[in-house]
């Protein structure tokens, strides 16, 4: 059989360059993603790192250097030379080793599908080689690009088609905890793997922007699957959550949405911060690296405070850092965490609360509810469509 270049793909697009998604393809993508169907991503590792799907694993046809060499050859010497180079790079023992790796993975992941970038020649070649080896595997029509476009459109449609409600409140009001108790809630911070503040970094880092958006879109599909067809509830966020950006169309809708305002006493909010940022975070460090857990935890806290030095002002930063260091010393010596309340309370009162009141004053006309977290849950249940 005559192969075209391994890097060249087939694509069905409209005049604007968008993939043409048929209803049958959309239904297939929805089924694959909602069922957590294993997906074998045969793109090069560099492509996979930019973004993939939660249930996908990278088993490339071409490694990065091979893909780069073929692309360079195509530009410098033309298509025929690139075709010949592609066959030389993936033949003999290399080809057999890759087929065996794909077969082993498919055996461990029954029901899997495979895809390349556009559902074209790379996935077609892998599919053919697997079939010749006795291991048939279906491939995703339109590949990564088509399924990615489907997820982008899912976010856009949800942003326009669903009424939105934004949960706002001062720092420490447990907005994320409340959101997770609402059947129509979507946790942006959870998908971004960041709590959205100077202290919000989580172990393991953040996903790529594309992976963040893909996970968000799949969550929206799950709401649809559970027939949560009324409003969409999200936490009040800035456009950036750590290094990730809320998709523009969704963020624009959030800026116009009605607000449910959570109000909790200062001591309750300090409790939430103490549990979420001190006790819970230390437990994460202990699970990841028991030997160095406390030193890494202390570096995380002090580094987070240092990042807002300019906004705090030098004198306030020095005082808060002293309180934080004292609390860490007590915690290291005795295991007690209560001393952290001193700097937490000061930081809430003197830094976060004034900033929050300033921002809220511009949006009071959008507030449709004010009350405690428990009152919000009751109100949300009574007003859900």
Catalytic residues, by residue number, are: 116
- State both tokens at 254: 């959030």
- Backbone φ and ψ of 164, nearest 5°: -105, 150
- Vertex 261: Cα angle to 257 and 267 (nearest 5): 150
Say how far apart CA 101 and CA 99 lie, in whole Å. Answer: 5
Say how far apart CA 240 and CA 222 lie, in whole Å. Answer: 24
- State both tokens at 133: 């080896």
Long-range contacts of 240-246 (CB under 8 A, 24+ apart): 241/188, 241/189, 241/192, 241/194, 241/196, 241/200, 242/192, 242/193, 242/194, 242/196, 242/200, 242/201, 242/206, 243/194, 243/206, 244/192, 244/194, 244/206, 244/207, 244/209, 244/212, 245/209, 246/188
Helix (H, G, I), strand (E, B) or coil at 315: helix
CA–CA distances in Å: residue 88 to residues 45, 137, 261: 20, 25, 64
Report whether 312 contacts 347 (CB < 8 A): no
Say how far apart CA 203 and CA 222 lie, in whole Å. Answer: 26
Long-range contacts of 331-334 (CB under 8 A, 24+ apart): 331/294, 332/294, 332/298
DSSP for 272-300, please give it.
HHIIIIIIHHHHHHHHH-GGGHHHHHHHH
Say how far apart CA 187 and CA 180 lie, in whole Å. Answer: 7
Say how far apart CA 260 and CA 240 lie, in whole Å. Answer: 21
Say how far apart CA 270 and CA 171 lie, in whole Å. Answer: 9
């Amino acid at each position: 059989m005559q192969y075209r270049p391994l890097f060249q793909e087939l694509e069905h697009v409209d005049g604007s360059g968008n993939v043409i998604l048929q209803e049958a393809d959309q239904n297939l993508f929805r089924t694959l993603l909602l069922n957590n169907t294993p997906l074998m991503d045969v793109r090069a590792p560099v492509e996979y790192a930019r973004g993939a799907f939660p249930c996908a694993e990278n088993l490339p046809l071409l490694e990065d250097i091979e893909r780069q060499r073929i692309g360079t050859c195509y530009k410098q010497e033309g298509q025929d030379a690139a075709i010949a180079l592609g066959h030389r790079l993936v033949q003999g023992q290399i080809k057999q080793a890759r087929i065996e790796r794909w077969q082993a993975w498919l055996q461990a992941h029954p029901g899997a599908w495979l895809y390349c970038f556009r559902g074209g020649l790379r996935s077609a070649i892998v599919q053919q080689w697997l079939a010749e080896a006795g291991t048939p595997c279906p491939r995703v029509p339109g590949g990564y690009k088509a399924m990615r476009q489907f997820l982008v459109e899912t976010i856009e449609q949800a942003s326009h088609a669903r009424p939105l409600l934004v949960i706002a409140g001062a720092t420490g009001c447990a907005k994320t905890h409340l959101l997770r108790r609402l059947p129509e809630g979507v946790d942006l911070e959870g998908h971004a793997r960041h709590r959205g503040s100077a202290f919000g970094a989580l172990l393991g880092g953040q996903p790529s922007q594309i992976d963040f958006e893909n996970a968000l879109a799949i969550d929206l599909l799950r709401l649809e699957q559970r027939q949560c067809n009324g409003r969409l509830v999200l936490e009040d966020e800035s456009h950036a959550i750590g290094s990730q950006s809320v998709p523009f169309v969704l963020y624009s809708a959030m800026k116009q949405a009605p607000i449910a305002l959570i109000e909790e006493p200062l001591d309750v909010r300090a409790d939430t911060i103490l549990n979420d940022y001190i006790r819970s975070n230390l437990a994460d460090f202990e699970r990841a690296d028991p030997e160095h857990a406390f030193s890494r935890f202390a570096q995380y806290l002090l580094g987070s405070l240092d990042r807002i030095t300019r906004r705090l002002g030098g004198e306030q930063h020095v005082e808060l850092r002293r309180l934080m260091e004292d609390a860490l010393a007590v915690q290291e010596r005795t295991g007690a965490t209560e001393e952290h309340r001193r700097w937490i309370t000061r930081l809430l009162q003197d830094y976060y609360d004034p900033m929050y009141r300033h921002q809220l004053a511009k949006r009071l006309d959008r507030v449709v509810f004010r009350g405690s977290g428990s009152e919000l849950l009751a109100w949300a249940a009574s007003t859900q469509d």
